[in-house]
Amino acid sequence: MITESHNPHRVLQLVFMLSLTLAGVAHAKQADLPAYPYLKHLVPEEDARQSLGAFPLDSDVFAETRNDYANLRIVNDSGTEIPYRVRTRTEAVTSTHDTVIPTRVESLRELPGNKIEIEILATGEPKESQEIVLSTRQHNFEKLATVYGTVDGQNWREIATEVPLVDYSRFIAYQKTRVVFAPAKYKRLRITLTDVTVDRELPLKKSVREALQGAMQHEFIETSFQREDFHIDHIRILGTKTTTTGSRSVARKRSIPDFKVQQDKRLTVIEFTAKREPVAGIMLQTSGINFSRPVTIEGKSEVGDGNFKMLHHGTYSHISVGDVKHDRRTLHLPSPSRCAAWRITINNRDNPSLEITGISLEEECVEAVFVNTPASSYRAFYGGKQATLPRYDVAAILNAVGRTPVAEFRLGDELQNPQYKRTRGGRLHIGGQAILTIAILLMVGALGWGVAVAAKKVDLTNIDEKSK
């Protein structure tokens, strides 16, 4: 008789459940830290509470990582590998335009000294305003405007002082009737205007002559004046509205202090080295002017490794003749390139050689974005030759949420990874994750062998019992 404790099917079920459990432990991925020779701590720039974090890659990381950034890992304080995505950092392109704030004139009163005060009430929910525009059909005037505002309806403060409002139509088509003040969500505004009533000279003049006994004694001209009040047709309170119209890549400029120039009769050859930063453009500074010459840009990924690869054919020119201004001293690449060595060749043809006085690079800002857990600390491990490109879900997450605010981090100083194990004898480094997987497979194999032996013994026992 077969007892429950010796049921081979039950034993196989237990082995299967144990295998799943061990596989789950293996899937909770610990970073293979010995594979990366360098590390940097991620330093938060501010209170990092956002669900996504980001940090710009620097020259040290560019110098040691591949073009696909496969040998870059982010690890939290417990050693767990954190999914990330490398992308070009962008900034929003915005446009700003005026927007009219709904208001109404609440009161108007005359003040001593030939002044008036107009109080304006914001209707509806107060919105941020920063400008008053007075519309009038009158011409040839000079006034001073002072503005007061209150955000709570009780406490007033002066927000613009004696701003000139003028119209000089008599001499030139120029009018200024805008008053700019400190922006805020004002509930009420008061504007005070000076010289609201003036005596305006009339265009018609009267010539008067006085004679005595037929002889002319006096001759003078009488001028008439008319009292005129300043008339406002309309008052508008303006705010500003900013609209995002798109995005553009963030670039940074960096000068190259050391470069080599070789001149011959027809060619100017410039060479310099870099740390494989993603270069989008190269600015060649020269004292020359009024030139236009063919140029080629070449690069290679490692210094002293192989031949240069052609990256761009273009024209290097700077023309300034009369009203014609044309400056193409910055050479833009078709796409950002990461090279350790650069070579630029200018074809002078039959012209005198150009003196190159400086080089500056326009580099694309690249950032790593990762899922951030507040109060956690992170390190970036990089370098090494044996890493494979990771496949994370974070790309799909970023595509779903779009451009959302991120917690900003920066990279600290470069440190040697004390756990790094260099590859020896051409054999690949086997990291902790691989060792754990191999151990699990060995355990599962051993359990399977044990189950097979147990099942065989159970079958033999069953045969013996039947024979009895």
Tens digit of each residue's pLDDT (9 = 90 or more) over 31-85: 788 999 999 999 998 877 888 999 999 999 999 999 999 999 999 999 999 999 9
Mean pLDDT confidence for 313-321: 95
pLDDT exceeds 90 at position 259: yes
Model pLDDT, residue 132: 95
**466 or 129: which leads in pLDDT:** 129
Closest to 149 measured CA to CA, from 114, 103, 96 = 103
Grade residue 28 by pLDDT with cuts at 50, 70 and 90.
very low
| Ramachandran quadrant class, 306 (left: phi over 0; alpha: psi -120 to 50; beta: rest) | left
Model pLDDT, residue 375: 83
Strand segments, DSSP code E, in 274-308 are 278-286, 291-300
pLDDT exceeds 70 at position 164: yes
CB 280 within 8 A of CB 333: yes
Q: Cα 196 to the chain's mean position, in Å? A: 50
| Ramachandran quadrant class, 384 (left: phi over 0; alpha: psi -120 to 50; beta: rest) | left
User: Does this model's pTM top 0.75?
Assistant: no
The residue behind tokens 């034993």 is 11
Output the six-digit token pair for 407: 């917690």
Mean pLDDT confidence for 218-231: 73
Mean pLDDT confidence for 152-180: 94
Model pLDDT, residue 11: 37
pLDDT exceeds 80 at position 88: yes
pLDDT exceeds 70 at position 302: yes
Model pLDDT, residue 455: 56
Model pLDDT, residue 156: 96
Mean pLDDT confidence for 247-265: 91
Mean pLDDT confidence for 287-293: 93
pLDDT exceeds 50 at position 310: yes
Model pLDDT, residue 456: 59
* Alpha-carbon separation of residue 59 from 33, 237, 317, 362, 365 (angstroms): 21, 50, 30, 14, 11
Grade residue 24 by pLDDT with cuts at 50, 70 and 90.
very low
Mean pLDDT confidence for 254-271: 93
Of 189-198, 204-213, 405-414, 425-434, give the lowest mean pLDDT range: 425-434
Q: Amino acid letter at 45?
A: E
- For the chain, the first-to-last Cα distance in angstroms comes to 11
Output the six-digit token pair for 140: 């040839």
Dihedral pair phi/psi, residue 306, rounded to 5°: 75, -170
Residues 6+ apart with CB under 8 A from 386: 35, 423, 428, 429
pLDDT exceeds 70 at position 232: yes
| DSSP per-residue string spanning 207-226 | EEEEEETTEEEEEEEEEEEE
pLDDT exceeds 70 at position 127: yes
Model pLDDT, residue 401: 67
pLDDT digits (tens, 9 = 90+) for 398-429: 777 666 788 999 999 999 999 998 754 333 44
**162 or 395: which leads in pLDDT:** 162
* Cα–Cα distance, 308 to 270 (Å, whole number): 13
**434 or 333: which leads in pLDDT:** 333
Grade residue 256 by pLDDT with cuts at 50, 70 and 90.
very high
**431 or 113: which leads in pLDDT:** 113
Model pLDDT, residue 16: 36
* Side-chain half-sphere CA neighbours of 370 within 13 A: 25
Model pLDDT, residue 365: 95
Cβ count near 358 (within 10 Å)? 12
Grade residue 175 by pLDDT with cuts at 50, 70 and 90.
very high
Per 3-state DSSP, the chain is made up of helix, strand and coil in percentages (nearest 5) of 15, 50, 30
Report the sign of the C-alpha dihedral through residues 137, 142, 148, 149, in that order.
positive
Model pLDDT, residue 91: 87
| DSSP per-residue string spanning 308-370 | -EEEEEEEEEEEEETTEEEEE-EEEEEEEEE-SEEEEEEE-TTSPPP-EEEEEEEEE-EEEEE
In percent, the amount of the chain with pLDDT more than 90 equals 59
| Ramachandran quadrant class, 162 (left: phi over 0; alpha: psi -120 to 50; beta: rest) | left
pLDDT digits (tens, 9 = 90+) for 53-66: 999 999 999 999 99
Three-class DSSP category at 34: helix
How many helical (H) and strand (E) elements, i.e. helices and strands, does the chain have?
4, 31
Q: Are strands 175-176 and 178-184 parallel, antiparallel or unpaired?
A: unpaired
Model pLDDT, residue 459: 54
Grade residue 199 by pLDDT with cuts at 50, 70 and 90.
confident
* Side-chain half-sphere CA neighbours of 39 within 13 A: 19
Mean pLDDT confidence for 273-285: 96
* Cα–Cα distance, 130 to 148 (Å, whole number): 12
**25 or 125: which leads in pLDDT:** 125
* Alpha-carbon separation of residue 5 from 15, 218, 272, 466, 468 (angstroms): 14, 143, 76, 19, 22
Model pLDDT, residue 428: 41
Residues 6+ apart with CB under 8 A from 204: 224
pLDDT digits (tens, 9 = 90+) for 140-158: 999 999 999 999 989 999 9
Output the six-digit token pair for 459: 């079958």
In percent, the amount of the chain with pLDDT more than 70 equals 78
What does pLDDT average to over the chain?
83
Grade residue 301 by pLDDT with cuts at 50, 70 and 90.
confident
